[in-house]
Every structure is written in C-alpha cells, then in structure tokens.
Amino acid sequence: MPDPFTLADLPALTGRAHADDASLAAAAQDWGRVVQARPAAVVRPGRPEDVAAVVRFAAERGVPVAARGAGHSPFGQGQAEGGIVLDMRSLSRVHAGTGEALLVDAGATWREVLAASLPRGLTPPVLTDYLDLTVGGTLAVGGLGGASHHHGAQTDTVAGLQVVTGTGELRHCSADEDPDLFDAVRAGLGQCGVVTRAAIRLRPARQRARRWRLYYDSAAAFVADQRTAVRDGRFGYLEGQAQLDDETGSWRYLLEAAVFYSLPDEPDEAALLGDLAFDAESVERDDTTYLAFLDRMAEGETILRAEGSWYHPHPWLNVLVPDDAVTELVPETLAATDGADLGDTGLVMLYPVRTGRLGTPLLRTPFGELAWLFALLRTGDPYDVEGCARMVARNREIFERVRDRGGTVYPVNMLPMSAKDWETHFGAAWPELAAAKRRFDPRGILTPGQRVFP
C-alpha cells in the first residue's frame, strides 16, 4: 500500500492540487464507465516541472501516479487508486513551430494542434477519427487512423519528446538523443514515463477532401478492394466498417475513402474507383474543406451526448488481425455478433495498415505486410451490469482467438489482461520493455491501471 499523504505534503507547485469530492470522483471515472478507482489527489500541473516534482514525491513514498488526458481510457488505464492523477489538460499550450514541426504540450488535443498548424498550411500526417483526444494520450498507445497506411502511427510522426521518468527526472529524448527512453515511451502505455511535450512533424495540408462511401454485400470483395487500395496508396484516407442490418441479421460492408486536394486540381474519380467491386447503385460522395472532413465526428458526438449514450459504458475491443486470417476470423466473429452484442450505438471497424510504415517498437503488430485493425466499439446498458460483463467476457474470447492466429491487441480496450498476457503481446520487445521499466520506473509507480507490471 502507498504511504498516506495529504495535500499539505505535496511539493510546491505552480499548478493546483485537489482532494475535493468532485475532483476525485471525476478522476475515478473514464470513457468506459465501468472501472472506478478513486485517487487520493488530483494535480493540475502548471508546467512540466510540476509533473517532475509530483512524480519525485510519489516515487519516494511508493504512491501510484497516472496521467489523464481527455479521459477516454475504457478500462481504468488512467486511474490510480489511492494515488495521484495528473490532469494533463492543464498543460495544453501549443508552442510556436519551426519549419514543418510543432511543439505542443501533452495535454493539448489534436483539435488544438490543427488550430495552430492549418493557418500555416500544415497538418499532422496521421489523425485519429476523434480529434478531442490528447497528444499524450494517443502517443501512449500508438495513434492509428485512416492515413496510417501512408504514414504509420502518430508515434511514428514525433521528432522528439519531453518526458518525466518514474524517478521524477525531466528529460528530452528522440531517435538520436536518449533513444532507449524514446522507444520505451512511444506506445509504452505510460509504463516508463509521462510525456509532457511532443515535437510533431507536419506536412503540407490540402484545401479540400472528397470522400466516397462504397458499399459491399461480399466480405471477400470488401477485403480485396481494401488490400488493393492500401497497397497502391490511391487514397489519402481509408477505413472500413461492417454494418449490421437489424431486420435481416446480415452484415453489409462499407469502405470509406477520401482524397485530399487543392483547387484548381480535381480528383480523377474514374481512376480512383474504376477497378473496385463495390455496389455502384449505392455510392455516396461528399466534398468538403479539409478541416470539415477531419472534424466529421462532431455531429455524431452532439447526437450521442444529447440522447445520452455518450455517457454509457463502452466495452470496446480493438485487435490487429493478420492478413492471412482476416477473411476467416472476422466473418466468423461477426456471425456470432448480433445487435445485443454491439449495443444501440455500437460500431464495427475493419481496415488494413501496412506494417512496413509502422516504426514504433512497442506498437506490436502481426507478422506480414498488412495488419487489420478490427474494432468492436460496443455500447453497454448502464443499468445492465451483467450485460456489460458478458460483453467484456466476449472481448476476452475474441482476443484469445485473434492471439491464437498470430494477432495482437491495439491497447485501448475493456479487456482483462494478465502480466503474462502482456508479456506474450509484446513478444520480442518484452525484455527491452521490462528492462526500461526497471531503469526508468524502479519503484513501479507509473500507470498501474494498465496492469502490465503487477
């Protein structure tokens, strides 16, 4: 058990420390709405040095510490029972950029990054579908999106990081400076350090986006067309979904693809779509500004908040499936999935990433040219505890089947995992991660909610 402490025991900070009921209750809740681990204190740092001071204090006493961004962890990963939660949203400044890079605090959201980069005609290479996640939050897990088949994960687009280690040391790291720490922190699940700032590489932004929604009745054709499009790189953005027809119980498939362009140029639709086997009668297309495309989740979020399901449990599962297993494993899983398994606003996603574009050692992927992100984004009934438990148990069943076929997890899940599961997941990278944990967090205080090192 951690040593007890009060706010008066904490070091002097430029930010604020809180132990009121509202602050502690908020820090004991997350997007998943299932795990509730109440901390002893919430610290809203005023500068990176505050983070270092708090972590040093915690390390001396064996107090667990977790960094919390936008609170979108689904299973208590950003919680610290009896410990200290660092509310990183208080560190959200986007600093002046130089050239094609931008220095941002870890608590800044990707929306805030865009607000600073787009006026300069620049954009991050990879963005998650939802823009109101924090930079530090996505860098802790990888950060995949519809452009990952071109540019890898968000962790592959950072030039350098400022990190507080588990001993409270404030350090800078990159591929050239302190590379062991750099590789231990990117997609490291917060086990070896707290990211306080990141230098994000940028690329030229186009003015507009043209998006097509292409429908398929055949899973085989849907998968084949995604393989083709990802390999030749014709689209700047590509993701896929499986959609359940509640009346028939059958599944239909949606390929969502976009190209980015600037006037007077126009996309060549015939060249882009001509060899794909979608249902030509049901094509949907829209043309918007680049920013409007990136912010396409905003309307749906407003609806979900208004009708309440935004605040319901989210027993999500994200796995990476080997290419040679996708046409068997995914249809089998969907055949055993009905509306009750997904919930009223549940969503299934399926799209490939070229593993050769992923250069983050701790972002583990299956062997092969392509890995498929298969995401069952379930919504639970807040009044049906047993139903949520069944969804979590189902997540475990699917995970084990995926693992048995050579797959891995993309670690933003409501999925019980043991230390042995994590060791298997990290595979050849496990010895390096374990050594980094001993070196950078010898007291084992950082991010206990991930349950990687018991």
Q: How far is 137 from 106, CA to CA, in rounded Å? A: 8
Q: How far is 361 from 155, CA to CA, in rounded Å? A: 10
Q: How far is residue 206 CA from its own chain's centroid?
A: 25
Alpha helices in 67-118 (DSSP H): 110-117
Q: How much of the chain is in helix, strand and coil states, percent to nearest 5?
A: 35, 25, 40
Q: How far is 15 from 393, CA to CA, in rounded Å? A: 41
Helix (H, G, I), strand (E, B) or coil at 442: coil
Q: How far is 213 from 20, CA to CA, in rounded Å? A: 48
CA distances from 387 to 91, 138, 212, 226, 383 (A): 38, 29, 36, 34, 9
Positions marked active-site: 72, 129, 239
Q: Give the containing element (helix H, strand E) for 135.
A: helix 135-139
Closest listed residue to residue 122, CA positions, set 204, 234, 25, 223: 204
Q: Is-contact 445 64, C-beta < 8 A?
A: yes
Q: How far is 61 from 7, CA to CA, in rounded Å? A: 14
Q: How far is 298 from 394, CA to CA, in rounded Å? A: 30
